[in-house]
Every structure is written in C-alpha cells, then in structure tokens.
C-alpha cells in the first residue's frame, strides 16, 4: 500500500464524523491526537508517553468508557507531560461526541499497513493529510498551506546550507522548513556526511518558526516531529512582543505571511518596527528584513500580495527601507488562482541583507508568470514545470543576455524605481488582458457614466411597465 493510498483511506474516515458536525480542519486535528499515539507505538518511542495512555490501552475500550478515557487522556497529556508531547496536546479537546465514531477511527487506523507507511515515511503520510485538508475549500486551511511546487522552487533557489539558521515567522504547518531540511539532507547524505555536532545542530536548532493559531501550531509540531526536526516552533503572534525573540540574526527566511489587515485597523503591539501600520504584510516584511543577519549573505524569499508593491504612505517607506538595507534582486509576478482565495494576486520577493543600511539595491529583476498563463485550479494544478523557465533565468550568469531570449524577464534600475515613488508594480508584459492602474478611467467620469446608464435603464423600465399595464387593461375590458 502506497502513502497516497493510506492518505486516501485516512481522509475518507472524515465521513464517519459528519454526524458529529466535525469540520475538515477539526478532523485533521482529531487524527493528529490519535496518530501520534499510534505512530509512537509503531516507531518504538512509547517510553515518552505515560503507560496508561498508550495506544494499546486506548484500543481496548468501547462505548462511554472509551469516550471518558479519551477525554482524560487528552487533558493529562497536555498538562502532565513535558516536551513535544505536552506541546502537541496543550489545550487539546475532542469534538467527537459519539463513542462509536471514535471507536471506528481507532479500528480503521489499526487496520492500516503501517509497515508500508514507515517504509515510505510517516512524515510524507502526514504531509499528505495536510495537503488534502488544504485542497478542501470547505476546510479553510488553504491559508496555512502554500502550494508545494511554489515551496520547492523558493527553497531550491534560496539554497539553504548546513550550519545556517532558517526561520519561518508565519510557519503554518511548517512546510517551508521541512522542505529546507529535505533540501540540505539531499546534499549531505541525510546528514551522515556532517560532523556529529553539525548534524545535531541541524536536527535541534537549524529550523524554527512561529504560528499564531493553536490548532495549526499543533499540526506544525507533529509535522516537524515526524520529519525528525526538533527546532523551536513558537505559539504566538510575530507582530506582537513575541516576535522580538525572532529578531536574532537568521541566515535564511522562507515564508508566506498572512494577508489582510489587523482587526479594527490596529497597529502591531511591537515597538521595534520603524513604520507601524495596520497592513500585516508590510509589518511582516519589516520583521523579515530586520531579522536577517547583516553579513551580505543572509537571504529571504517571501510571498506577498500586489498591494505591498504599490501602496502609498507606509508602503512606500517600507519598500524604500527594504531597498536600502537589502539587495532586492528579484521579484516574480505569480499567476492568479494558485491560492485558496482565487482573486488574490501575489509575488515572490527575493532579497539579501546588506552589510550596511544604505543603497543596497542597484537594480530589480522582474519575471512575469502572470500574463498569458493558464487559469489554475483543480483542473489545471500548478506544477514545477511552470517554474522551469524562471529558474533558468534566475540562475543565468548574465541576466541581461537571458532577457534577450525571454520576454517575461525585465530589469529596472533603482533610479527608475525611485522616479515612480518607489512603486514596484512593474515587470508585467504589455497585453490587452492587463489594465495598468494609470489606464483606469477617472472615478468621477465612471460615476457619471453609471448614473447616465441607470437613468436610461429606469426610463426603459417605466416604459415597459406602462405598456404591460395597458395590455392588462385591454384584457380586463
């Protein structure tokens, strides 16, 4: 049985819980509680779990006794244990009301081919579940899951190395860090090619993150554990005082921070961000470039929405500061439809922190993956092949020469950008399907046009009504 088949079987079990009103996201959380216990047994690490709460004890119970035992198990594992177990079960609470449904989940999990699952990798199995959850629109989990091809290309081009400290300040289920770990393992023979102290650093300190939502934090902890990553994953808001702990000089940052504004227009509660704004992305961008080590090598790849590229006021100030402190060398204009919110237009910003805080960016290269691209979705999924030409252009020894053979590749000097009030809304191919902001009609003119059309429509409607009333009178007569 392949990992894909096991994932499909586990995912189909969510049908068992429909009568309990369990959402898809709650289902994955419930599975996490149970899978942790089962996987601990299968991998012979049950010693860290209190004997009375191990899988075999749970698997022997039925009915109300099972329900009561399971709720006590969740409470005690979250309060009376320590380390990663305590973190995973902290605040745990079951939404399963019917004991027979819980019994069904336990029975079906026991039936799975765990030998095959361990052979192919328990981490891959769990990631498969997270991806299923993210692709299910009703779950709302897409906001915590970045498409895998996008994660892969960002990690590949940033190229994290052994010994570097990597971080994701909005880590979701920890996908970027897991991919970074996998990337380094490939180049170091699964860390066996490293000295013992460096291999230990990779497992315990190299990868870290922060996640705001407790249930998502729980999934991130489980995901990291199954991939043998023991780095710190904080539960908290990066834009609060908690985030100050993350400003400690990272070598690599890979992230897709949440979109939108703070509720009620609130500013971040941190006092170390130069430009306090209600725009989350602008605050995250400040946090990221301030968190990079100022050594000329520390680098980041960040997914951000279009408004970051052109917003006035604080937006302009943040972009100017970014280009002063960092070499913002590449921006990819991503296609629409690749995230859970179909209308969101996004970009990847690649930049390297300078050794000084002045005039770091000389020119910015733009790659247009938005114009004349397919409409992505379930029928046309995003794949690595869609990034092949960009990856080639990114790595080109002479980008100016590469640009001669690829119309999607354009460059603008810092002077040209400064002349446009530091707007980075550039690099899209001129095309009839695209309308620039400068080309949009004047709002006042549009309003008058709209009023005129409404008046004409209203007059026509009145005329039709009068005719119908006249016909009705004739019929009555």
Show the 3-state SS of 12-30. HHHHHHHHHCCCHHHHHHH
- Looking at the predicted structure, is the pLDDT value of residue 375 above 90? no
Which run of H or E residues covers position 292? none
- Looking at the predicted structure, is the pLDDT value of residue 269 above 90? no
Give the pLDDT score at 476. Answer: 39
Contact 303, 158 (CB under 8 A): no
Q: With cut-offs at 50, 70 and 90, classify the pLDDT of residue 431.
A: low
Pick the residue with more confidence: 27 or 349?
349
Tens-place pLDDT, residues 29-74: 999 999 999 999 998 889 989 999 999 999 999 999 999 999 999 9
Long-range contacts (CB closer than 8 Å, 24 or more residues apart) made by 78-85: 80/50, 81/48, 81/49, 81/50, 83/48, 84/221, 84/225, 84/230, 85/36, 85/48, 85/49
Architecture per CATH, domain 145-419, reads as 3-Layer(aba) Sandwich (3.40)
Stretch among 9-23, 95-109, 350-364 having the lowest mean pLDDT: 9-23
Tens-place pLDDT, residues 203-235: 999 999 999 999 999 999 999 999 999 999 999
Give the pLDDT score at 449. Answer: 46
- Please give the average per-residue pLDDT across 237-248, as a whole number: 86
Mean pLDDT value across the chain = 86
Tens-place pLDDT, residues 166-208: 999 999 999 999 999 999 999 999 999 999 999 999 999 999 9
Q: With cut-offs at 50, 70 and 90, classify the pLDDT of residue 1.
A: confident
Query: In sequence order, what E strands does 177-308 have?
Result: 207-211, 233-235, 252-255, 299-305
Give the pLDDT score at 466. Answer: 52
Provide the 10 A C-beta neighbour count for residue 154: 24
What's the rounded Cα separation, in Å, for the pair 14 and 316? 47
- Please give the average per-residue pLDDT across 88-92, as a whole number: 94
Instruction: Say which CATH superfamily domain 3-135 falls into.
Output: N6 adenine-specific DNA methyltransferase, N-terminal domain (1.20.1260.30)
Q: With cut-offs at 50, 70 and 90, classify the pLDDT of residue 312.
A: very high
Give the pLDDT score at 137. Answer: 58
Enumerate the β-bridge partners of residue 235: 211
Give the pLDDT score at 422. Answer: 97
- Please give the average per-residue pLDDT across 119-147, as a whole number: 75
Contact 303, 335 (CB under 8 A): no
What's the rounded Cα separation, in Å, for the pair 102 and 276? 47
The pTM assigned to this predicted structure is 0.86
Among all chains, which residue has been given the structure tokens 């080309």? 439
Contact 87, 221 (CB under 8 A): yes
Give the pLDDT score at 261. Answer: 66
What's the rounded Cα separation, in Å, for the pair 352 and 312? 24
Give the pLDDT score at 268. Answer: 66
Q: What is the DSSP letter of 345?
A: -
- CA dist 253 → 23, 188, 249, 273, 384 (Å): 32, 21, 10, 18, 21
């Amino acid at each position: 049985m392949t990992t894909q088949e096991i994932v499909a079987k586990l995912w189909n079990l969510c049908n068992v819980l429909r009568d309990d009103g369990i959402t898809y996201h709650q289902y994955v959380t419930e599975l996490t509680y149970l899978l942790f216990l089962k996987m601990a047994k299968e991998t012979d690490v049950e010693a860290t779990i209190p004997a009375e709460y191990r899988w075999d004890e749970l698997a022997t119970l039925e009915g109300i006794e099972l329900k009561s035992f399971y709720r006590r198990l969740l409470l005690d594992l979250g309060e009376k244990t320590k380390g990663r177990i305590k973190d995973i079960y902290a605040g745990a609470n079951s939404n399963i009301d019917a004991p027979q449904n819980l019994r069904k989940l336990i029975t079906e999990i026991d039936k799975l081919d765990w030998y095959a699952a361990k052979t192919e990798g328990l981490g891959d199995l769990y990631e498969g579940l997270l991806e299923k959850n993210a692709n299910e629109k009703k779950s709302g989990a897409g906001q915590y899951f970045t498409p895998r091809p996008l994660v892969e290309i960002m990690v590949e081009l940033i190229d994290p190395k052994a010994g570097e400290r990597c971080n994701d300040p909005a880590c979701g289920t920890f996908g970027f860090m897991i991919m970074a770990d996998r990337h380094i393992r490939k180049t170091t023979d699964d860390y066996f090619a490293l000295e013992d102290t460096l291999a230990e650093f990779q497992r315990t300190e190299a990868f870290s993150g922060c996640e705001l939502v407790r249930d998502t934090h729980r999934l991130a902890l489980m995901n990291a554990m199954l991939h043998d990553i023991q780095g710190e994953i904080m539960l908290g808001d990066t834009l609060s005082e908690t985030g100050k702990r993350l400003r400690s000089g990272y070598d690599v940052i890979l992230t897709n921070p949440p979109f939108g504004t703070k509720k009620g227009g609130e500013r971040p509660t941190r006092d170390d961000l130069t430009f306090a704004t209600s725009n989350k992305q602008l605050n995250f961008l400040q946090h990221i470039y301030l968190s990079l080590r100022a050594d000329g090598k520390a680098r980041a790849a960040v997914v951000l929405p279009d408004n970051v590229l052109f917003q006035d006021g604080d937006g302009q100030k943040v972009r100017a500061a970014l280009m002063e402190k960092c070499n913002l060398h590449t921006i990819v204009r991503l296609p629409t439809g690749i995230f859970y919110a179909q209308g969101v237009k996004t970009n990847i910003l690649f930049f390297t922190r300078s050794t000084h805080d002045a005039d770091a960016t000389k020119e910015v290269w733009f790659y247009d993956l938005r114009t004349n691209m397919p409409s992505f979705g379930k029928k046309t999924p995003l794949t690595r092949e869609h990034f092949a030409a960009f990856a080639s252009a990114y790595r080109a020894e002479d980008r100016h020469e590469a640009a001669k053979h690829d119309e999607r590749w354009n460059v603008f000097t810092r002077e040209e950008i400064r002349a446009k009030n530091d707007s980075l809304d550039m690099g899209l191919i001129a095309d009839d399907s695209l309308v620039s902001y400068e080309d949009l009609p004047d709002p006042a003119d549009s309003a008058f046009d709209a009023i005129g059309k409404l008046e004409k429509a209203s007059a026509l409607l009145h005329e039709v009504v009068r005719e119908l009333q006249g016909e009705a009178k004739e019929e009555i007569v």
